[in-house]
Amino acid sequence: MLTCAYITLILNFPFLQKATQAITGLAQYNLLFLLSLPLFLFMVIVIMHSLFAWKGLTKPILIATVIVSAALFYATLSYGIVFDYGMVQNAFETDTAEAFSYVNGYAALFILAFGVLPAVFIGLVNIDYKPALSELASRCKLVFSSVVVIGLIASVFYSDYAAVGRNNKPLIGYITPYKMIDGTVKYVKNTYLYPAVPFTQLDPTPVINRVNPKKHVTVMVLGETARAKNFSYNGYEQNTNQFTANENIISFADMHSCGTATAVSVPCMFSRLNHADFDHRQANAQQNVVDVIAAAGADVLWISNNNGSCKGVCTRVPSLQITPESSNPLCDGEFCFDEVLLAPLNEKLSNLTHDNTFIVLHMIGSHGPTYFKRYPQDKRTFMPDCPRSDIQNCTDEALINTYDNTIAYTDYVLNKIIASLKTSAMATELNTSLLYISDHGESLGEKGIYLHGLPYSVAPDSQTHVPMLLWADNETTDLDLGCIAQAKGTRMSHDNLFDILLGIMSVTSVSYDQNNDPFASCHFSEIVSN
């Protein structure tokens, strides 16, 4: 009972706080209803743990619950993270280096104080078990009493609970650790227990229909955790795009992501499925736009400096994962600066084997919380910065400067990529273009929220409003750049990317929807729609 009370009143403080804000924000509310909330939650937790309060299970389950809840408590309290299905998926699909980037002294002390020490207390308690039937009777009495209390509360305040729950559905995501347990069960079931979905070809015979006789190379740079707000192309006050400022970049300032985390956004943005109907299992069981481009005859290569890999998008095309070898001056053994992508890119550009080439460069970009590890020391454009992972303890100025340094460094790398494309174009008369788009955005402490991954329905604009940039060689491109520039203020989303890429690559396919391509009228080559 004491442990359940601790879980309710301390480890679920973020839930109680947000629920209190929702209730007191009403024009009228019942104070007794507000006071009933922790009692209601307490009784629910008592019932749940009573089911496992048997000899040999009681202590391990309570200890595990408290330690896990303490870790979730830290993440929610510090970063505003909600551990729903999407966040569980992120946790399962992350790698060791990324996971350890969240570990710091502050986190260790927090979990020690709120998780480990209470767990030690639980472990030291001497439990005097009764005979099995007596234990069962005791548990039945406890569960029955809890149900009665819940019933009484519900009978008096049912309409209040129903109204608040209906209007604040994301609140349930803050209940620790049970929302995480629910998400974990669903993730394991969806990933490992359901039968495989038969693979579907969206188009078995796509072709490239390009008028321009020059060889064509498009590089798509897949950004990581970049938010549109912090690009000076979009009106940001700090000059985060100084390196590409003279490259006639077209910035599309109203682009929005499919998800708030890489595990969702990356497979979704390359899929024919849209944000509204996206399903991982279905997406994995059909061609994505990279597959269609490859099937049309283009030489496709995916090069990744993101340890989270390509989330299944590059499974059926050639790919190269950068390994963070400590012997490489651009790497520290765990991560590499994005300049490491330039060497394999230049190698590919020097050895083109097809008339049409499509290269994806997957950046580590602005991935947090260790933003300071995403740019070299000589690229610390904005000072003071924040060289630590417990970013909630940085000043607002230092945190924003650190993040802006990652954006400025991304711009530096983009400039290098453009220079490589220009050099290759001069050497071999190539038709070259570059498209940059981020997978999702980031929160930097606004309203107490950090990082990303909130449920899309409640995620702030900073997590879903992402940058998209386009560059093409004016002398050789078969894109009408003036026409494309007219669309830079058009609202777009990752849902448009499938058709944008088919259009840029001049792929004729039944899977292409010209109504979903904002540049459909800006291609000199003929593209056939479904």
Q: Could you tell me where the beta strands, DSSP code E, fall in 328-430? A: 356-362
What pLDDT score does 468 carry? Answer: 98
- Match 């904002």 to its residue by tokens: 518
Other Cβ atoms less than 10 A from the Cβ of 527: the count is 22
Domain boundaries, the chain: 2-193, 213-522
**Cis-peptide into 344, omega within 30 deg:** no
Are 400 and 383 in contact by the 8 Å Cβ rule? The answer is no
Structure-block tokens of residue 384: 């003071």
Check residue 195 and report its DSSP letter: P
Taking alpha carbons only, the member of 382, 362, 361 closest to residue 371 is 382
Instruction: Answer whether 482's CB lies under 8 Å from 260's CB.
Output: no
Beta bridge partners of 321: 304
pTM for the predicted model, two decimal places = 0.85
Q: Closest by alpha carbon to 282, among 205, 192, 196? A: 196
Half-sphere exposure of 58 (CA within 13 A, CB side): 18
Predicted local confidence at residue 187, as pLDDT: 84
pLDDT in tens, the chain (530 residues): 999 999 999 999 999 999 999 899 887 888 999 999 999 999 999 999 998 888 888 999 999 999 999 999 998 888 888 887 778 887 777 777 777 777 888 899 999 999 999 999 999 999 888 888 888 898 899 999 999 999 999 999 988 888 888 888 788 888 999 888 888 888 888 888 888 889 999 999 999 998 778 899 999 999 999 999 999 999 999 999 999 999 999 999 999 999 999 999 999 999 999 999 999 999 999 999 999 999 999 999 999 999 867 999 999 999 999 999 878 999 998 899 999 999 999 999 999 999 999 999 999 999 999 999 999 999 999 999 999 999 999 999 999 999 999 999 999 999 999 999 999 888 788 999 999 999 999 999 998 899 999 889 889 999 999 999 999 988 888 899 999 999 999 999 999 999 999 999 999 999 999 999 999 999 765 444 44
Nearest one of 69, 73, 82 to 4, comparing CA atoms? 69
Q: Which two tokens stand for residue 85?
A: 């299905």
- What is the pLDDT at residue 529? 43
Per-position DSSP letters for 73-88, written without gaps between them = HHHHHHH----SHHHH
Whether the Cβ atoms of residue 241 and residue 439 lie closer than 8 Å to each other: no
Q: Which CATH class is domain 213-522?
A: alpha beta
Q: Cβ distance 408 to 242 under 8 Å?
A: yes
3-state secondary structure of 490: coil
> Where are the strands (E) in 326-444, listed by range?
356-362, 431-438, 443-444
Angle between helix axes 58-79 and 31-50 (nearest 10 degrees) is 140
CA atoms within 13 Å, Cβ hemisphere of 115: 20
Task: Give the whole-angstrom CA distance, residue 95 versus residue 97.
Answer: 6
